[in-house]
Chains A and B, each alone.
Chain A
Amino acid sequence: MSISWYLAISAIVFALGAGGVLVRRNPIVILLCLELMLNAANLALIGFSRMWGNGDGQIFALVVIVIAACEVTVGLGLVVALHRRRLPVDVDELRELQG
Chain B
Amino acid sequence: MSATAAAWIVLAAPLAGTLVTAVLFRRLPGRSAGWIGTAAVGVSFVFALITLARIQGIAPGARELTSTLWTIAGTTGVDARATILVDPLSVLMICVVSGVSMLIHLYSVSYLDGDRGYARFFAYLNFFVFSMLLLVLAGNFLLLIVGWAFVGAASYMLISFWYRRTTATSAGIKAFVINVLGDIGLVLGTFFIFKHTGTFDLLASFRAAPHVFASGSGDVTAGCLLLLVGAFAKSAQIPLHTWLPDAMEGPTPVSALIHAATMVTAGVYLIARMHPLFQLAPAAGDVGALIGCLTLLVAGTIGLAATDLKRVIAYSTMSQIGYMIMGVSIGAYAAGLFHLMTHAFFKALLFMAAGSLISAMGGVQSLDRMSGFRRALPFTFGCFIVGGLALSGVPPFSGFFSKDSILLFAAGRGGWHWALWAAGYVGALLTALYTFRMIFRAFLGDPCAEARELIETGHLHHPEAPTNPANGEIEDTDVGFPGPVHAVAERALPMRAAMSILALLAVVGGIVAVPHVTSWLDRFLAPTFSDSTITGNASNTVLAIGLILGALVSIGGIALAYVIWVARPQLARQAHARFAPLATLFENKWYFDELIDALVVRPGAWLGRFSQNTFERLFVNGLLVGGSTGLVRASSALVRATQSGILRVYAALMLLGAAAVAFYFLLQS
Is A62 an interface position by the 8 A CB rule? Answer: no
Is A1 an interface position by the 8 A CB rule? Answer: no
- Which positions 72-99 of chain A face chain B at CB distance < 8 Å? 91-92, 94-99
Which of B51-59, B478-486, B645-653 is the interface stretch? B645-653
Q: Which of A22, A25, A94, A98 contacts B644 (CB 8 A)?
A: A98
Q: Which of A91, A96, A97 contacts B648 (CB 8 A)?
A: A91
State the main secondary structure of chain A at its contact with B. loop
Do A22 and B648 have beta carbons less than 8 Å apart? Answer: yes
Is B655 an interface position by the 8 A CB rule? Answer: yes
Residue-by-residue, is A1-42 near B (CB-CB < 8 Å gives 1, otherwise 0)?
A: 000000000000000001001100100001000000000000
Do B647 and A22 have beta carbons less than 8 Å apart? Answer: no
CA distance A96 to B639 in the complex (A): 17
Do B648 and A21 have beta carbons less than 8 Å apart? Answer: yes
- Which positions 628-668 of chain B face chain A at CB distance < 8 Å? 639-640, 643-648, 651-652, 655
Do B639 and A99 have beta carbons less than 8 Å apart? Answer: yes
CA distance A52 to B400 in the complex (A): 111
Q: How far is the CB of A7 from chain B (nearest CB, A)?
A: 14
Q: Which of B645, B651, B652 contacts A98 (CB 8 A)?
A: B645
Do A22 and B652 have beta carbons less than 8 Å apart? Answer: yes
Do A97 and B645 have beta carbons less than 8 Å apart? Answer: yes
Residues on B with beta carbons closer than 8 Å to the beta carbon of A96: 645
Do A18 and B645 have beta carbons less than 8 Å apart? Answer: no
Chain B: interface size category: 10 to 19
Chain A residue nearest to B651 in the complex (CB): A21
Chain A: interface size category: 10 to 19
Chain A residue nearest to B639 in the complex (CB): A99
Residues on A with beta carbons closer than 8 Å to the beta carbon of B648: 21-22, 25, 91-92
Chain B residue nearest to A18 in the complex (CB): B655
Do B647 and A91 have beta carbons less than 8 Å apart? Answer: yes
Residues on B with beta carbons closer than 8 Å to the beta carbon of A95: 644-647
Q: How far is the CB of B430 from chain A (nearest CB, A)?
A: 81
Do A92 and B655 have beta carbons less than 8 Å apart? Answer: no
Q: How far is the CB of B647 from chain A (nearest CB, A)?
A: 4
Do A92 and B651 have beta carbons less than 8 Å apart? Answer: no
CA distance A21 to B652 in the complex (A): 8
Do B651 and A22 have beta carbons less than 8 Å apart? Answer: yes
Residues on B with beta carbons closer than 8 Å to the beta carbon of A30: 647
Q: Which of A22, A25, A97, A98 contacts B655 (CB 8 A)?
A: A22
CA distance A99 to B645 in the complex (A): 8
Q: How far is the CB of A31 from chain B (nearest CB, A)?
A: 12
Residues on A with beta carbons closer than 8 Å to the beta carbon of B655: 18, 21-22
Residue-by-residue, is B398-421 near A (CB-CB < 8 Å gives 1, otherwise 0)?
A: 000000000000000000000000
Do B646 and A92 have beta carbons less than 8 Å apart? Answer: yes
CA distance A21 to B655 in the complex (A): 10
Do A94 and B647 have beta carbons less than 8 Å apart? Answer: yes
Residues on B with beta carbons closer than 8 Å to the beta carbon of A22: 648, 651-652, 655
CA distance A25 to B643 in the complex (A): 18
CA distance A96 to B645 in the complex (A): 6
Residues on A with beta carbons closer than 8 Å to the beta carbon of B646: 91-92, 95
Q: How far is the CB of B658 from chain A (nearest CB, A)?
A: 9
Q: How far is the CB of A75 from chain B (nearest CB, A)?
A: 12
Residues on A with beta carbons closer than 8 Å to the beta carbon of B639: 99
Chain A residue nearest to B641 in the complex (CB): A99
Do B643 and A98 have beta carbons less than 8 Å apart? Answer: yes
Residues on B with beta carbons closer than 8 Å to the beta carbon of A97: 645
Q: How far is the CB of A71 from chain B (nearest CB, A)?
A: 14
CA distance A10 to B207 in the complex (A): 87
Residues on B with beta carbons closer than 8 Å to the beta carbon of A92: 646-648
CA distance A47 to B639 in the complex (A): 40
CA distance A99 to B651 in the complex (A): 16
CA distance A21 to B648 in the complex (A): 7
Do A99 and B640 have beta carbons less than 8 Å apart? Answer: yes
Residues on A with beta carbons closer than 8 Å to the beta carbon of B644: 95, 98
CA distance A98 to B643 in the complex (A): 5
Residues on A with beta carbons closer than 8 Å to the beta carbon of B640: 99
Chain B residue nearest to A27 in the complex (CB): B647
Residue-by-residue, is B272-293 near A (CB-CB < 8 Å gives 1, otherwise 0)?
A: 0000000000000000000000
CA distance A92 to B646 in the complex (A): 6
**Interface-centre pick from A22, A25, A96, A99 (highest chain B CB count, 10 A):** A99
Q: How far is the CB of B649 from chain A (nearest CB, A)?
A: 9
CA distance A92 to B651 in the complex (A): 12
| 24 A–B contacts, CB within 8 A, in A order | A18-B655, A21-B648, A21-B655, A22-B648, A22-B651, A22-B652, A22-B655, A25-B648, A30-B647, A91-B646, A91-B648, A92-B646, A92-B647, A92-B648, A94-B645, A94-B647, A95-B644, A95-B645, A95-B646, A95-B647, A96-B645, A98-B644, A99-B640, A99-B643
The 5 closest A-B pairs by CB, nearest first: A95-B645, A99-B643, A98-B645, A91-B647, A98-B643
- List the interface of chain A (C-beta within 8 A of B): 18, 21-22, 25, 30, 91-92, 94-99
